[in-house]
Structure 1
Amino acid sequence: MVNSVSTSSRTSADPPGSAASGCGPAFSPLYQQIKTLLIRSLQAGEWRPGEAIPSEVELAGRYKVSQGTVRKAIDEMATENLLVRRQGKGTFVATHAEEQVQYRFLRLMPDSPQDAGPVTREFLDCKRMRAPADVARALELKSGDAVVLVRRVLNFAGRPVVLDEIWLPGSLFRGLTAERLSEYRGPMYGFFETEYGVRMILAEEKIRAVAADESVAKILHVDAGSPLLSVERLSRTYDNKPVELRFGLYQTHAHYYRNELS
């Protein structure tokens, strides 16, 4: 068994300088090199969201490594919600249409069962505009590049709880409208995935307490000056590329923010 990925296993999805080309970092563990190649294939669209990837045996033959090495790479990708294992069926590309990943970045939990009713959404606005300086900087755009601004309210059990201001790169989301968003029955990230080929892989958040101004208070049905939780989220796709900047205001009268630390 070889100790590095053979150049003969390089595919059209493997970029110059990748592990498969023999120019990858020598210190990278072999399973990490395989993981990099698998992610490149996902990024290139070789396997679409919801589709099965080749078996471990097939991938081991493709990359000329052991099945155990492939399994370790896939295990790590499954932990990161890039892939989903299904007993007796194989391994599939994770999709935001999966029930367990809907609202995967939303960490707001109800205090009691009666507050855990269905989540509905209302889109207030969707417009294209020039990127403000701070938005362009966060999304790694040039000053003045086109962006799409989406404003929406999430209602929990019929009550407005979250007001989101969502900024997206205009070049990736051409033709996006509030009507199209409203017509899509699944989660918004699922819509981005199926209609625009943009998949949110990971996110980082900044959280602070703020007071509701009059316009926000009216939308969330609270008094002006009421405490809100401000959550600024930057979501990224493959290659750590930022593709969404979101400013959320959470009304936590009957909800709390929950996160797991390890």
Structure 2
Amino acid sequence: MTQTDDARLPLHARTHDDLLRRIRAGEWPHDVPLPSEGELAAEYGISVGTMRRVLGTLTSDGLVERRQGRGTFVRRAAFEHSLARFFRAGDRVPASRILDRQRVAAPADVAHALGSSGEVLHLLRLRLLDDEPYLVEDIWLPLPAFEPVAVAALDDLGDLLYPAYERLTGLVVAAATEDLSVVTASADDAVVLGCADASPLVRVERSARSVTGQVLEHRISRGPASRFHYRMEIS
């Protein structure tokens, strides 16, 4: 039986806390379901009903999700098409090219966003559609947690970084906060994106978090305002 040691807590609370510990430790990769309710109940020595209650709480808290016919999985936020909400891309995932990767002293705003100062890993990334520049991104990652990303072959990072983070570091991005604003293209952005100096860009600032609320990544994406599109259904 695997449980936390505080016998003062109700049994379902102890089971919940221990399952949460195991989720945070990365015991179940993205493609591996948790054991069934019956198997977990037997492991913890509790009733199936109590285990169902525990899993229900973890589901309500956004930590696990039930997939019909497949089981219960640790929840991972789906970011594959998140920027496509704002920059017309349809269902396509833009290609990715890392233009620069280096360890740097964290700028003040990055240190504040990550909740830590000192050295960070900075990635300058270009996203492309049909081989045309689509977005340019500044990405900051805390060190030493992301040291494996700092030394990995660039081709090993792929077009989607969050699966690479999990594969290389075991850290799972579960949620994020985004802020949108309009800025003008710097000279560097204009060169990379192939647009005129000072042309309008849409800026998306994102802080990505783990299941524990720890900020794992601070990212600023910029793309031409001419491609910007936003739609919301209101009822």
Q: Note the C-alpha offset of 1:22.
A: 5.3
User: Partner of 2:26: helix, strand, or coil?
Assistant: coil
Deviations 1:102-154 (A, max 9, x none): 525434356586xx655211111000122122211211113xx1100000011
Match of residue 124 from structure 1? 99
Which ranges of structure 1 fall in alignment gaps of 5 or more residues?
Answer: 1-7, 15-19
**Which residue does 2:174 correspond to in 1?**
201
The partner residue of 1:214 within 179, 187, 202 is: 187
Q: Which residue of 1 aligns with 2:6?
A: 21
Does the Cα contact within 8 Å between 1:50 and 1:93 map onto a contact in 2?
A: no
Question: Residues 103 and 112 from structure 1, CA distance in 2 versus in 1: closer, same or farther, beyond 3 angstroms?
Answer: closer
Separation in structure 1 between the aligned mates of residue 2 and residue 230 of structure 2, nearest angstrom: 46
1:70 paired residue among 54, 58, 65: 54
The percentage of counterpart residues that share the same residue type is: 28
Which amino acid in the other structure matches residue 216 of structure 1? D
Q: Is residue 118–residue 157 contact of structure 1 (8 Å, CA) maintained in 2?
A: no
Q: Distance in 2 between matches of 1:22 and 1:165?
A: 47
Residues 34, 150 of structure 1: alpha-carbon distance in 2 compared, 3 angstrom cutoff: same
- Specify the SS of the correspondent of 1:240: coil
1:168 aligns with 2:141: yes
Report if aligned partners of 2:179, 2:205 keep a CA contact under 8 Å in 1.
Answer: yes
1:138 aligns with 2:107: no
Contact 2:135 2:221 in 1 (8 A): yes
Paired residues for 1:42-53 under 5 Å: 42-53=23-34
Aligned with 2:205: secondary structure? strand
**1:226 positional shift:** 1.4
Instruction: Please show how residues 54-69 of structure 1 align to structure 2 within 5 Å.
Output: 54-61=35-42, 62=44, 64=46, 66=49, 67-69=51-53
What CA distance in whole angstroms lies between the structure 2 residues aligned with 1:181 and 1:260?
39
Structure 1 length-normalised TM:
0.74
Distance 1:108 1:36, change over 3 A: farther
Instruction: State the 1:257 CA deviation.
Output: 4.2
Cα offsets for 1:32-60 (capped at 9, x unmatched) = 87655433211123323322211112334
Structure 2, unmatched stretches of 5+, are: none
Residue 106 of structure 1, aligned match among 76, 83, 91:
83
* Partner residue, 2:73: 92
Of the candidates 131, 139, 156, which is equivalent to residue 183 of structure 1?
156
Write the distance in 1 (CA, Å) between the matches of 2:112 and 2:143: 14
SS at match of 1:149: strand
- The answer on 1:244 being equivalent to 2:217 is yes
Task: Classify 1:204/1:106 alpha carbon distance in 2 versus 1 (closer, same or farther; 3 Å).
Answer: same
Q: Give 2:111's aligned amino acid.
A: A
Tell me the CA shift for residue 173 of structure 1. 1.3
How big is each residue's C-alpha offset from its partner over 1:239-259, in whole Å with a ceiling of 9 and x where there is no partner?
111111111112242342457
Distance (whole Å) between structure 1 residues aligned to residue 81 and residue 65 of structure 2: 14
Q: Report if aligned partners of 1:167, 1:246 keep a CA contact under 8 Å in 2.
A: yes
Task: Give the structure-2-normalised TM-score.
Answer: 0.81
Task: Give the length in aligned residue pairs.
Answer: 232
Mapped to 2, the partners of 1:21 and 1:169 lie a distance apart of: 33
1:225 positional shift: 1.8
Residue among 198, 204, 220 paired with 1:225: 198
